[in-house]
Amino acid sequence: MSLEGKVAVVTGSATGIGRACAVRLAQDGADVGLLDLNAEGLAETRAAVEAEGRRCEAMAVDLTDRDALFAAFESLRASLGFLEILHNNAGGAAGVRPKPFAESDPEQFDRFVALNLRAAADCSRIVLPEMIERRTGRIINTSSERAFQSAPLMIDYSSAKAGLIGFTKALALEVAEHGITVNAVCPGIIRTPLLDNFPPEHIERAVASVPAGRIGEPEDIAHAVSYLASPGASYVTGEHLLVAGGRTIH
């Protein structure tokens, strides 16, 4: 499962799932590039990665700004080398209060799509030419259980995450002949800042529906990402791995 000598980029890596995944990839031996808008959080993640003895570069960037994103990747490539692993983790809905779709504004829908879907497509487009040239690469997208089982007040989020599943499968089919795998992890209820957007009673009801009987931890997702990034997953592509404590069984 060693990633020694490889370079990974993790977007949305300032906190939560992204931070846990960046640290896990470093523990597996990879050097790590970090992208997020939260500069303070990025500094903390960078310190955690470097504590594992790996090289790390962190850049505060708006992932929905294509020009800034391209420049950030160019800087990471110049500093760290070939970006062989891309974890498109940025997304979520931090700071957005859920509301009925009929009462929401179109701009909110656009923001969800831009961060949860379009940014992943843009990042993938940037790294793919060199992956294709070298005939190796791993792209891992963070979708959600909500891509398959939505809930009230989550139409914007569910739509974007379902789109990311479609993107994952279509891209996997297109690049498989080049030795590149594309997969998605689909978290369930995970202890991240996203939970702060919901009232406690909503969270209690959600947890009650999890057969495993608990909220997941960011490290639960990191284990899955570690596998999909590893040499052991070279025959796995176009798949989505639900890490949701069994909540979607029914």
Domain holding 39: CATH number? 3.40.50.720
Asked whether residue 120 is assigned to any structural domain, the reply reads yes
Domain of 155?
7-243
pLDDT tier at 94, thresholds 50, 70, 90: low
Catalytic residues: 157
Asked whether residue 248 is assigned to any structural domain, the reply reads no
Q: What was the pLDDT predicted at 95? A: 57
Asked whether residue 62 is assigned to any structural domain, the reply reads yes
Radius of gyration of the chain (CA): 17
Q: Is the pLDDT of residue 197 over 80?
A: no
Asked whether residue 123 is assigned to any structural domain, the reply reads yes
Q: Is the pLDDT of residue 230 over 60?
A: yes
* DSSP-derived pairing of the beta strands 240-243 and 31-36: unpaired
pLDDT tier at 1, thresholds 50, 70, 90: low
Asked whether residue 16 is assigned to any structural domain, the reply reads yes
Closest by CA to 15, choosing from 239, 176, 194, is 194
Q: Is the pLDDT of residue 98 over 80?
A: no
Q: Has this prediction a pTM greater than 0.85?
A: yes
Mean pLDDT confidence for 80-87: 98
Mean pLDDT confidence for 163-177: 98
Read off the pLDDT of residues 175-190 as tens digits, 9 standing for 90 and up: 999 999 999 999 999 9
